[in-house]
A and B are shown apart, each in its own frame.
Chain A
């Protein structure tokens, strides 16, 4: 409140020219009010609902596709028949990647600001309510509270107040009894820390978002690390790890549907083994914070290349993981950096019959890495036979499989799980341990009896109304027959 007065004073015009100026603190105040308003919060949540609906109803472009302008344009063309004249507008508004759009980011930031502001705004109040509750209420409160009852008893005020407090304690309330002369105030509360559940739930959202940001900024995720069985591949992404696939097994049920995909993996750092496990779907392996997941598999070709001087320049399984040409072929890539050459190993896709490449054969295409123009040489290789391709001695050693891994490191994940835990714990506390506060006022009246008034505020909870009524009944019964010795009233 004092804040308000001060800022009003500050924004008082000093002279006529200042009249039109809105002071910074006034703007700050307005912003603050905007962000702590539940109406704002509600509007922001509903705005996210709308964006989420767009995200489910409109086809979304594959993640990361926008980085490749050509591929993205092709993708837009592929959805054009579906959305017709709207396609361009949707694209311009970013609706084909809603969750990367300025709208989504902006609203998320506003929502988080609002959530933070609400929490900061409410926490001191809740803290005070829990630690230094207001134990006395005005007469008007007892007369007009949404839940209120009044009764009289023959007992002395202390005894009556103690009876009220005992009833409340029996219902697992904490009670504070304060006497001032003959007038006694009883304050009782239950789950007084419960309201902090909302603060925890709100802050947990910020924790989750922080986790997501950390993951994006400092993590990586490679969805397509193919490792031929018997070969190794660099994990890259500054992990310094290499992974070797010792074995890959795909198993099937009698009805032909897959039952298991399993890869025996060994992970090395600087040539030293640092981890080994059989990785399956749902059973990843984590080494130094980097996690390996089973994801896909396919054919591989073992290729050995010997240079002109007789040195072996390449001897590895090559995963044939790329679709090639019209999709009826698959290919893998070999980069011979020293020779400035790039080679493709091409085979028919599974189930395709290719007149040019028969079973037991692959096609070997060599390009200049610098130009990648027309191939320098193209040759079909039969398994086990060495051939001379563009001056290289190339052997297609054998067919294999490769295992396709997702490799990811997400330093934000602990924050995500912490945030999720806090979110669930916070909401559960709010709802399953609702805070309750009851006030009672006991005072002597002229007839030598005591008047007892009990009141509570209902926060949109009719259920507590019923409990309050039962409690009232109990209080009426107890104060009629307070414990005899206390009834004598030694102050």
Chain B
């Protein structure tokens, strides 16, 4: 099972890289075609562009999407095999959680790509997934038995499952926000219209925000069961609250004059930074979530 999991993981890394490569090439070839055609005077067109659709018949974009689905399948397999081998969900160490986070990013990207046909989001979402997977290759993959505090398989598995959906949607929202900031109101450079990018971000946060809320609540339930308190301001808890507040601020900023648009997009960049900070926080702040188990006297 371990071997199967590792092989699926490696296959996942490779296919994510391939998917990204395809999108990148497709995007570049679209850009080149576009420049040529605009040279020739054939309108540059405010780009509501799906890569591949007009990429000079290369179909690279389509391959990118296929590789994305394939990668998703491999990572799903990796997570399932590992869960079968360890007997618990992917919450015990950074290796497991990084794969899960990458899975969430891919899955949410695939969902939004399917829904909005904006493969260009992949140019940002896929590198995030790839970076997480590459990070996973650098941390120990070994499986240690669970210390008592983590022996709450059901609660923690749901906690993590909900968290990766939230994080995945925030990665998509981040990708759309970056494109939003690269795009202009007039709509140039072959990027999707700003309105559409704004909508994608918002839709992503609409899913992500309730899921993040649920993540935090489940974390509080766990803390209450294990330590008799639902909230203790440990750095990981605080960081997740900050993340939640930033996305809460975003939801309101979107309907406040002077904040909608670019400032709201910056809030999404800040929000995803907070997600990463919360996620990697384990590495530099201690606290109960450092998985030290029982912090006995």
Q: How far is the CA of A463 from the CA of B207 in the complex (A)?
A: 14
Establish whether residues A298 and B152, one from each chain, have CB atoms under 8 Å apart when the complex forms. Answer: no
Establish whether residues B214 and A413, one from each chain, have CB atoms under 8 Å apart when the complex forms. Answer: no
Stretch at the interface among A253-261, A300-308, A381-389: A253-261
Q: Contacts A281-B226, A463-B199 given: A56-B255 contact, CB under 8 Å?
A: no
Establish whether residues B145 and A257, one from each chain, have CB atoms under 8 Å apart when the complex forms. Answer: yes
Establish whether residues B254 and A49, one from each chain, have CB atoms under 8 Å apart when the complex forms. Answer: no
Contacts of A255 in B (CB 8 A): 144-145
Contacting residue for A295 out of B221, B254, B294, CB 8 A? B294
Say if the beta carbon of B47 comes within 8 Å of chain A. no
Stretch at the interface among A156-164, A227-235, A421-429: A421-429
Contact with B along A253-296 (1 / 0, CB 8 A): 10101111100000000000000000011111000000101111
Contact with A along B222-238 (1 / 0, CB 8 A): 00111111111101001
Contacting residue for A56 out of B213, B226, B235, B260, CB 8 A? B235
Q: In chain B, what residue has the closest Cβ to A42?
A: B252
Say if the beta carbon of A53 comes within 8 Å of chain B. yes
Say if the beta carbon of B249 comes within 8 Å of chain A. yes
Q: In chain A, what residue has the closest Cβ to B209?
A: A427
Establish whether residues A52 and B238, one from each chain, have CB atoms under 8 Å apart when the complex forms. Answer: yes
Contacting residue for A49 out of B207, B213, B225, B245, CB 8 A? B245
Establish whether residues B213 and A427, one from each chain, have CB atoms under 8 Å apart when the complex forms. Answer: yes
Say if the beta carbon of A446 comes within 8 Å of chain B. no
Q: In chain A, what residue has the closest Cβ to B150?
A: A282
Contacts of A463 in B (CB 8 A): 199, 203
Contacts of B227 in A (CB 8 A): 293, 295, 406
Q: Contacts A38-B252, A60-B233, A413-B224 given: A404-B144 contact, CB under 8 Å?
A: no
Determine chain B's interface SS by DSSP, over half rule: helix
Q: How far is the CA of A52 from the CA of B294 in the complex (A)?
A: 26
Contacts of A280 in B (CB 8 A): 148
Q: In chain B, what residue has the closest Cβ to A431?
A: B206
Contacting residue for B294 out of A55, A261, A423, A460, CB 8 A? A261
Contacting residue for B209 out of A221, A293, A431, CB 8 A? A431
Q: How far is the CA of A413 from the CA of B229 in the complex (A)?
A: 9
Establish whether residues A462 and B195, one from each chain, have CB atoms under 8 Å apart when the complex forms. Answer: yes
Nearest Cβ distance between residue A353 and chain B, in whole angstroms?
Answer: 20
Establish whether residues B229 and A408, one from each chain, have CB atoms under 8 Å apart when the complex forms. Answer: yes
Nearest Cβ distance between residue A255 and chain B, in whole angstroms?
Answer: 7
Say if the beta carbon of A175 comes within 8 Å of chain B. no
Establish whether residues B249 and A49, one from each chain, have CB atoms under 8 Å apart when the complex forms. Answer: yes
Q: How far is the CA of A280 from the CA of B293 in the complex (A)?
A: 13
Q: How far is the CA of A221 from the CA of B223 in the complex (A)?
A: 14
Say if the beta carbon of A238 comes within 8 Å of chain B. no
Establish whether residues B229 and A56, one from each chain, have CB atoms under 8 Å apart when the complex forms. Answer: no
Contact with A along B41-65 (1 / 0, CB 8 A): 0000000000000000000000000
Establish whether residues B145 and A281, one from each chain, have CB atoms under 8 Å apart when the complex forms. Answer: no
Contacts of A32 in B (CB 8 A): none
Q: How far is the CA of A126 from the CA of B20 in the complex (A)?
A: 46
Q: Contacts A38-B252, A253-B145, A297-B296 given: A281-B151 contact, CB under 8 Å?
A: yes
Contact with B along A372-414 (1 / 0, CB 8 A): 0000000000000000000000000000000010111010010
Nearest Cβ distance between residue A237 and chain B, in whole angstroms?
Answer: 13
Say if the beta carbon of B248 comes within 8 Å of chain A. yes
Establish whether residues B293 and A257, one from each chain, have CB atoms under 8 Å apart when the complex forms. Answer: yes
Contacts of B230 in A (CB 8 A): 413, 416
Establish whether residues A282 and B149, one from each chain, have CB atoms under 8 Å apart when the complex forms. Answer: yes
Say if the beta carbon of B285 comes within 8 Å of chain A. yes
Establish whether residues B245 and A52, one from each chain, have CB atoms under 8 Å apart when the complex forms. Answer: yes
Contact with B along A49-67 (1 / 0, CB 8 A): 1001101100010010000
Establish whether residues A45 and B145, one from each chain, have CB atoms under 8 Å apart when the complex forms. Answer: no
Contacts of A60 in B (CB 8 A): 233
Nearest Cβ distance between residue A298 and chain B, in whole angstroms?
Answer: 6
Nearest Cβ distance between residue A229 and chain B, in whole angstroms?
Answer: 16
Establish whether residues B281 and A56, one from each chain, have CB atoms under 8 Å apart when the complex forms. Answer: yes
Contacts of A258 in B (CB 8 A): 147-148, 293-294
Contacts of B151 in A (CB 8 A): 260, 281-282
Q: How far is the CA of A321 from the CA of B239 in the complex (A)?
A: 33
Say if the beta carbon of A309 comes within 8 Å of chain B. no
Q: How far is the CA of A56 from the CA of B228 in the complex (A)?
A: 22
Q: Contacts A284-B225, A460-B255 given: A420-B220 contact, CB under 8 Å?
A: yes
Establish whether residues A42 and B220, one from each chain, have CB atoms under 8 Å apart when the complex forms. Answer: no
Contacts of B196 in A (CB 8 A): 462
Contact with B along A351-364 (1 / 0, CB 8 A): 00000000000000
Say if the beta carbon of B242 comes within 8 Å of chain A. yes
Q: In chain A, what residue has the closest Cβ to B195?
A: A462
Establish whether residues A38 and B255, one from each chain, have CB atoms under 8 Å apart when the complex forms. Answer: yes
Establish whether residues A52 and B225, one from each chain, have CB atoms under 8 Å apart when the complex forms. Answer: no
Say if the beta carbon of A39 comes within 8 Å of chain B. yes
Contacting residue for B217 out of A253, A291, A407, A424, CB 8 A? A424
Say if the beta carbon of A485 comes within 8 Å of chain B. no
Contacting residue for A221 out of B214, B228, B259, CB 8 A? B228
Contact with A along B241-262 (1 / 0, CB 8 A): 1100110110011111001100
What 13 additional pairs, Cβ within 8 angstroms, besides A60-B233, A410-B229, A424-B210? A42-B256, A45-B245, A63-B233, A221-B229, A261-B148, A291-B228, A295-B294, A296-B295, A407-B228, A413-B230, A420-B213, A424-B213, A462-B199
B contact set with A: CB distance below 8 Å: 144-145, 147-149, 151-152, 195-196, 198-199, 202-203, 206-207, 209-210, 213-214, 217, 220-221, 224-233, 235, 238-239, 241-242, 245-246, 248-249, 252-256, 259-260, 277, 281, 285, 293-297
Can you pick out 5 interface pairs between chain A and chain B where the beta carbons lie within 8 Å of each other? A42-B259, A45-B249, A49-B249, A410-B229, A462-B198
